[in-house]
Amino acid sequence: MDSRTRNVFVGLFVLVVGVAVSAAILLGQAPAGPPAGTQSVEGVIVSVDSAGLTDVMGFDLLTSDGETVTFSLQFLENGATFPPGHLVEHQASASPVRVWYRSVGAVFFAIALEDAVPPG
């Protein structure tokens, strides 16, 4: 490969990497990981406490060990990426959900929600 061709490839590579890094920064697509100081649990939604799709206060989650846990959405941080109204769809389809939460006494506050990948 001659130096001119090599320079074109190097220039294109730098351009592609630059665009990808810029897009990740601007769009906030870097993986955030679990919220600090939280625990997680997976299960299926058995009830949703709401006055409509845009006014969801909490929900009950049935874990794989048969325990039902009630969560408040008072401190939900990722409502824009996982709208609380989406919980009703999970309830209807029995699709599992992962909940990142903090507990204060006997109250469990959902901090972040995500679709859980079913085992197998």
For 36-61, write each residue's pLDDT tens digit: 889 999 999 999 999 877 889 999 99
Whole-model pTM above 0.95? no
**Which residue from 108, 93, 118 is spatially nearest to 60, judged by alpha carbons?**
108
> Which carries the bigger pLDDT value, residue 33 or residue 75?
75
Place 20 in a pLDDT band, splitting at 50, 70 and 90: low
Which of 15-26 are b and which e, b meaning 16 or more Cβ less than 10 Å from the residue's Cβ? eeeeeeeeeeee
Span 72-109, pLDDT tens digits = 999 999 999 999 999 999 999 999 999 999 999 999 99
pLDDT of res. 5: 81
pLDDT of res. 39: 95
Sign of CA dihedral 32, 33, 35, 37: negative
